[in-house]
Amino acid sequence: MKFTKMHSLGNDFIIINNIKNDFFFTKDIIQKLSNRYLGIGFDQLLLIESSFNSEIDFHYRIFNSDGNEVEQCGNGVRCLALYLEKKKLICRKKICVSTKNRVIYLQIISNNIISVNMGVPLFNPEDIPFITHSIKDTYKVYFQNKYIYFNVVSLGNPHCIIQVNDVSITPVSLIGSFLENHVFFPQRINVGFMQYIDVHNIKLRVFERGVGETNACGSGACAAVAIGIKKNILAKKVYVNLRGGIITINWKGNKNNLFMIGDANYIYDGKIIL
């Protein structure tokens, strides 16, 4: 099986051209491939398939390293755009792809910089999904003798955002693993820890469901900014400083589409025997 290893801000992927439906992946196979000591090693596997809609260029599927399929991957879709151009599967700078639950519009701006139209952020608990008795601006959960206050949003996949004073000393894995599988979240949750710097800058660490903490999370960056703008503490353009680098988010609020701009990087092509 041929594959391509790519990354964006240290969030790494393998991309496989499965347009001819040559490969079928079980959870066990994905877990073995994702193993960083005995396999290839990656946060997510991206599988390119044919589109059944003439207005959509490709369909693609996203699998976390635990083998579970998910709906969205902001960093991954930028790598996908660069892959399609590099492998000459498309000759346009504007690309349209579908995922498990939405259509995404991409634009290759220059070299390896890609803009992604992430759609309209969804805050309704049913859209997350998030189980609650009433809709509130901020929710809370009791953990280790104190309350954790959080907000929820979906950018095609579910996110819980917690504002913290200092991300460098926040127990990301401890709190993230607690919330990921909480009964509040029937499809599990990605947990973002946001540190406010000023109206144009935040720091962010993300605990991704089925993966753990990653160097960067594109949809998590979008989620944090969407929450910050909704709470009137962030401007319409925000630079998100993640462990792997900086990503730019633009959102005018309300029912407007949110845009993410960041890089994508090719690492190598390889072959592996399944």
160 is catalytic: no
Q: How far apart are CA 217 and CA 226, in angstroms?
A: 14
User: Residue 211 — φ and ψ, nearest 5°?
Assistant: -130, -45
Residue 274: which pLDDT band, with cuts at 50, 70 and 90? confident
pLDDT in tens, 76-128: 999 999 999 999 999 999 999 999 888 999 999 988 999 999 999 999 999 99
**pTM of the prediction?**
0.93
Q: Is 266 buried (19+), middle (13-18) or exposed (0-12) by CB count in 10 A? A: middle
User: DSSP letters of 208-273?
Assistant: ETTTEEES--HHHHHHHHHHHHHTT-S-SEEEEEETTEEEEEE--STTPPEEEEEE-EEEEEEE--
* Domains parsed from the chain with CATH numbers: 2-119+263-271 (3.10.310.10), 125-256 (3.10.310.10)
The per-residue pLDDT for range 174-226, each reduced to its tens digit, is 999 999 999 999 999 999 999 999 999 999 999 999 999 999 999 999 999 99
How many whole angstroms separate alpha carbon 172 and alpha carbon 234? 23
Q: Which residue type occupies 153?
A: V
Active-site residue identified among 73, 79, 160, 222: 73
Q: Which of 79, 160, 217, 222 is catalytic?
A: 217
User: 222 an active-site residue?
Assistant: no
Model confidence pLDDT, tens digit, residues 3-62: 999 999 999 999 999 999 889 999 999 999 999 999 999 999 999 999 989 999 999 999
